[in-house]
Chain A
């Protein structure tokens, strides 16, 4: 049997992921995360008299802390498995990715374990985040005039 025929045979039996259902779940939970974030910004700027830019930073710190904390308690992975992109795409996903890698390698030492492996998953997010920030920064200066 040729490889392409075998691929067809495999595809016949391999179920497709329920994309529509996953998208709905991700939309609802991701949307809820957005609402929560905005609520936090409003609450911080109202109660602590902060500008919404500063309140935004506090909101990120809060959500990152919650993400890390729930990962340490051991059940955030089950939520991620259910909500998928609803929890992976928001800032909680980034925190969770760093934290879960740190937990996994903590017994291999502070430097050789946690230090070397904490950004195993999230490292590429940082690299490409920085690279795209440069590109968009340059575009802004040269195309849009600063």
Chain B
């Protein structure tokens, strides 16, 4: 399912990050950086709540508007019952649509906001996506201080929140179209190999998008997937060629970009709902505004993992959503 938009623009973005992202290659782009995992709060979960609150505050300050001027806040995170977004929203005070689609929250949020703006139901919206490394480790894996051995191909959840303001007021970046993803399950049970879990759903949504829009892959200056990591990136390239006969050329993966993989202890790259928007709203938008990129397809990839279901020996399903952004000339 692909939606076309004529009247949706991205006006402003804001980013808040934790210690590892601050030491990464895009540090100069981020609006707010924290040196530890607590952000001055008592727990990691509360730190994530703060990162969402901070990012929306910074966004509204940049736009010089109040929370009452925003029609809808669409957001999500990885914690159970998307608790970070819910608690942050009680302080933000904008009507909330809480969403969950694992690490593909960012593009799903942009899609829902764009649909509502295009249909004239709302004038503007704030979309957030956040994650917290230690919060996610605590929920999905072992206690953080346990430091159980991990495989080299595992990914490292990003800490931070990325917020984006969309409206029908013209700006330099336009949301052109979006394709809703389909849940795929190719039988992968390895909880460390998230790239392998997510690559099939990314391939499916890219193929669906190109079919629905009648485009070839060369139409885009860049296809940016969410958090496949080094291994997942190679798997996607091979799989999409074999299954859909698509030759990915102008392609990168934000998990491989957000950290300095050779120097930082992040295994096979970043992950988490915040990974793709943190890279997109900073480095990619900077390139788009400078005219180096014109048409970008964002494909946020989400592994719909649940530890209980994994213990029942079920394989991990995955979903990816694609959104096409264009520079307005």
A10 part of interface (Cβ distance < 8 Å): yes
What 0/1 pattern do residues 126 to 153 of B give for CB contact below 8 A with A? 0000000000001000111111111111
B234 part of interface (Cβ distance < 8 Å): yes
CB interface residues, A 1-40, toward B, < 8 Å: 1, 3-4, 6-7, 9-10, 12-15, 17
Interface size class of A (residues with CB under 8 A): 20 to 34
Choose among B144, B147, B153, B242 the residue that contacts A14 (Cβ–Cβ < 8 A): B153
B66 part of interface (Cβ distance < 8 Å): no
Determine whether the beta carbon of A107 is less than 8 Å from that of B148: no
Report the Cα distance A13→B187, complex, angstroms: 16
Most buried by A among B145, B239, B243: B145
Choose among A1, A9, A103 the residue that contacts B143 (Cβ–Cβ < 8 A): A103
What 0/1 pattern do residues 32 to 65 of B give for CB contact below 8 A with A? 0000000000110000000000000000000000
Choose among B149, B188, B200 the residue that contacts A81 (Cβ–Cβ < 8 A): B149
Determine whether the beta carbon of B239 is less than 8 Å from that of A80: no
Choose among B143, B153, B193 the residue that contacts A100 (Cβ–Cβ < 8 A): B143
Take A1-B243, A6-B186, A9-B238 as given contacts and tell me if A14 and B145 are in contact as well, using a CB distance cutoff of 8 Å: no
Take A1-B243, A7-B187, A15-B153 as given contacts and tell me if A96 and B238 are in contact as well, using a CB distance cutoff of 8 Å: no
B94 part of interface (Cβ distance < 8 Å): no
Closest to A10 in B: B196
A74 part of interface (Cβ distance < 8 Å): yes
**Which residues on B sit within 8 Å (CB–CB) of A92?**
none
Determine whether the beta carbon of A15 is less than 8 Å from that of B231: yes
A97 part of interface (Cβ distance < 8 Å): yes
Closest to A96 in B: B146
**Which residues on B sit within 8 Å (CB–CB) of A84?**
149
Report the Cα distance A104→B143, complex, angstroms: 6
A55 part of interface (Cβ distance < 8 Å): no
Determine whether the beta carbon of B187 is less than 8 Å from that of A14: no
A42 part of interface (Cβ distance < 8 Å): no
- Tell me the smallest distance from the CB of B233 to a CB of chain A, in Å: 9
Determine whether the beta carbon of B43 is less than 8 Å from that of A101: no
What 0/1 pattern do residues 60 to 86 of A give for CB contact below 8 A with B? 000000000001001011111100100
B191 part of interface (Cβ distance < 8 Å): no
Choose among B138, B200, B235, B238 the residue that contacts A104 (Cβ–Cβ < 8 A): B138
What 0/1 pattern do residues 86 to 122 of A give for CB contact below 8 A with B? 0010000000110111011001000000000000110
Determine whether the beta carbon of B149 is less than 8 Å from that of A3: no
Determine whether the beta carbon of A100 is less than 8 Å from that of B145: yes
Determine whether the beta carbon of A14 is less than 8 Å from that of B193: yes
CB interface residues, B 177-208, toward A, < 8 Å: 186-188, 193, 196, 200
- Tell me the smallest distance from the CB of B269 to a CB of chain A, in Å: 14
- Tell me the smallest distance from the CB of A74 to a CB of chain B, in Å: 7
Determine whether the beta carbon of A71 is less than 8 Å from that of B145: yes
Report the Cα distance A49→B250, complex, angstroms: 74
Determine whether the beta carbon of A121 is less than 8 Å from that of B142: yes
Report the Cα distance A120→B307, complex, angstroms: 14
Choose among B144, B193, B239 the residue that contacts A1 (Cβ–Cβ < 8 A): B239
**Which residues on B sit within 8 Å (CB–CB) of A120?**
143
Determine whether the beta carbon of A107 is less than 8 Å from that of B186: no
- Tell me the smallest distance from the CB of B305 to a CB of chain A, in Å: 16
Take A9-B238, A9-B239, A14-B231 as given contacts and tell me if A107 and B42 are in contact as well, using a CB distance cutoff of 8 Å: yes
**Which residues on A sit within 8 Å (CB–CB) of B200?**
6
- Supplied contacts A80-B148, A80-B149, 12 more A-B pairs, CB within 8 Å: A6-B188, A9-B238, A9-B242, A10-B196, A15-B152, A71-B145, A77-B144, A81-B149, A84-B149, A97-B146, A100-B142, A121-B146
Residue contacts A-B, CB under 8 angstroms, 15 given: A1-B239, A3-B187, A4-B187, A6-B187, A7-B186, A9-B238, A14-B196, A76-B145, A79-B147, A84-B149, A103-B145, A104-B143, A104-B144, A104-B145, A121-B143
